[in-house]
Amino acid sequence: MVKRGKSWSYVIRVADPETGVSKPKWVSGFATEEAAKAARDEARVAARRGEYVDISRATVKQYLTEWLEAHQLEVKPSTHAGYTFMAETYLIPRIGTARLQALKPATLTRLYRELLEGGGRNGKPLSRRTVDYAFAVVRKALNDAVVVDRLLPSNPVERMKRPKRERREPRSVWDAAQLRAFLASAASHRLGAFYWLAAYTGARRGELLNLLWSDLDLDARTVNLRGSVGVYAGKRVEGTTKGGRARVVSIDAGTVAVMKAHRKRQAEERLIAGGSWSGGDLVFRMGLGGPLFPDTVSQLMPRLIRDHNNAVKEAEQADSTPPPLLPPMRLHDLRHIHATMLLLAGVPVTVVAERLGHVDASITLKVYAHVLKEQSTAAADIFAKAVETGSTDAALDAIEDPEHDDPGAVGGTSC
C-alpha cells in the first residue's frame, strides 16, 4: 500500500490476455488503507480468474459515443443509423452521465420500465418492440465493454429484470382470394409487378429494389437476390442482404409472364422519356428511370388498397359481382403471406427459410410457430387417411431413416 497525498493506492500484477506477459497495475483514489487493501484483494481474485478490469471513470455517454464510432466500420450504414438513433434518443439522455463501471442491473430495469411507460414523444409510452431494440443496442455495446475493451467483468443487461411479455395474437394476413384481388387491381399500376414479385418470392422490399435485369433469368425461372437498398441520412444506399449472403429464388411461369410484361412496359417508358431517362439496369424504377426509395413502395400500397376498395364499393352499387374488400395490410405482410401459404401447403420449413433468406430455419420456426401448429392439427387425419387408403408402404419407405445405412446421406427428416 502506498499513500500519495490524502489517498491510498495499491499495485497488482495482471497478465495481458493476448501476450500472457504480467504487468503491474496501479490503482489509486482510496480514502483509507483498509479500503485500498480490500479493493486489492478483490482485484487479485479477479486477476487469477482472468476477469480483472481496469478502473475507468468513463461515463455511459463517453463509452457509447466511442463504441458507435468504432462500430461504424462493422455494420451497414442503415444499421449504424439505427444504433445511433436509439443511443442518442433513449439511452444517453437518461443514463449517459452514469459511470460505466457503476451501471447496475437495477438501473437498467428502471430505465426499461420508464421507456415503456413514457419514453416517447411528449411522454407517450413506447412500444415493447422499440424498447427491446434500444436494449439490444445496450447489450451489444456492453458485451464489447466486457470482451473487447475489458472495462466490465460482466454485462449487467444479462442480469436485469424485464416485465413479463404479454402473449400477442398472430397478425392476420390476406387469404388467397384477397391476395389475388389485390394483385389484379395493382396490375394496372406501373409498379404492379413489384407487388406481384414480392408476394410470389417472399423477398424484402430492399432486395427487390436492388434487383437488376441481369439478376433475373426468366428462362431458368430464377431470381438472384444478391443485395439490398436502404436509406441512410436521407440518401439511398445499396448494401448486402439482411443475412449478408445472396440467394437464388425460383419463380413460376405466371411470374415470368408478369416480369416480361413489366420489362416491355419499362422499355416503352424509356422511349417516351427519351433523353430524360436515367441510365441503369434496375428492374423497378421511377417513371424517368431514376432509382426508387424504399418508402415509395411502402406508402403506395395503402393507396392501391384504398383504390381497390373504392372500386369494389362502386361495383356493389351497380349490382355487379365485385371482388372482395381488402383489410389494411403492410408491404412486409406480402412476405408473411408467402411464408404462411407455403407452410400450410406442407412445404418443408427449411425450404421456406431458404426462400425468405433466414440464416437459420429456427428463425422461421419461431416467427411462424402459429402456422405450423395449425398445420400439425391435421397430421392425425393425414395419417389415418394414408392407412385407410392402403398407401402406407410408400409412406414408410419415405420416412425410413436414411442414416441407418449411410451416415452421409442427405434428405433426413430431422428438424
Regions of the chain with pLDDT less than 50:
392, 394-415
Distance CA 233, CA 235 (A): 6
In 277-360, alpha helices (H) = 294-317, 333-344, 349-356
pLDDT score for 187 = 97
pLDDT score for 413 = 33
pLDDT score for 290 = 92
pLDDT score for 406 = 42
Which residues make beta-bridge pairs with 276?
Answer: none
Do 200 and 251 contact (CB within 8 A), yes or no?
Answer: yes
99: cell is: 459511470
Long-range contacts of residues 237-245, Cβ cutoff 8 Å, at least 24 apart: 237/76, 237/77, 237/78, 238/210, 239/76, 239/77, 239/78, 240/76, 241/204, 241/207, 241/357, 242/204, 242/206, 242/357, 243/357, 243/358, 243/359
pLDDT score for 400 = 43
pLDDT score for 50 = 63
Distance CA 375, CA 391 (A): 21
Supply the mean pLDDT for the chain. 85
Share of the chain above pLDDT 70, in %: 86
Do 343 and 356 contact (CB within 8 A), yes or no?
Answer: no
> What type of residue sits at position 114?
E
Question: What pTM was estimated for this model as a whole?
Answer: 0.70
Helix axes 294-317, 176-186, angle to 10 degrees: 100
Closest CA to 243 of 76, 2, 72: 76
